[in-house]
Structure 1
Amino acid sequence: MTTKSLLIKDTTVDERMDIVKEALGGFGDAECEGIDMDDLYDDYIFGRKELAEINREFSAQNAGSVRVDKADKTKGCGIGR
């Protein structure tokens, strides 16, 4: 089985949109502690930053700060479920 590269140089804008949409799965228009999950990946979709760079930056900025309220499992982004 061959895995297609996710790098910007190997994908089109439409493919990157599909990659993000598939990766976010059931998030839809979800927000996670005020973070719009769709907007988070705009730089990847439009060819400005690779996925790994966006994910590294997000982790560095938000490590330990994004939580889901355990009392209300119907809200949030699903982290920690």
Structure 2
Amino acid sequence: MSPHRSILIKDTTREQREEIIRRSLAGCGDGSCEMCSSCSLGAGDPFAMYQPYIDGDMEIRDINAKRAADNERLFGLQRG
């Protein structure tokens, strides 16, 4: 998938969405993590966190926004 193609649910197939998430999370747990904090802040398995996107139920941006709001509510974290 080209880096400039849309990743919106309406523009992708389930297989493409699985690949988008797989590539995006390729560094999780192997020491090259970008410190998204989903594991340490209670999101659990980062792949499971994005399952609603893969299933076509929720856009990535909405999942990320919900996670950030949950973190702020639960832990008082402020985004910079």
Structure 1's unaligned 5+ residue stretches are 66-81
Distance, in Å, in 2 between the alignment partners of 1:2 and 1:18 is: 12
**C-alpha deviations, 1:28-69, integer Å up to 9, x for none?**
6xx71241101000000010001110000000001384xxxx
Displacement after TM superposition at 1:2 (Å): 7.2
TM-score (norm 2): 0.69
- Normalised TM-score (structure 1): 0.68
Please provide the CA RMSD for this pair.
2.2
The 1:32/1:46 distance shift into structure 2, 3 A limit, reads same
Partners of 2:65 and 2:3 in 1: how far apart? 26
**Equivalent residue pairs, number:** 63
For 1:16, the equivalent position in structure 2 comes to 17
Identity in percent: 38
Q: CA deviation at 1:26?
A: 1.7
Could you list the structure 1 runs, at least 4 aligned residues long, displaced by more than 2 angstroms after superposition: none
Structure 2 segments unaligned to the other structure (5+ residues) = 30-37, 76-80
Structure 1 residues 16, 2: closer, same or farther in 2, change over 3 A? closer
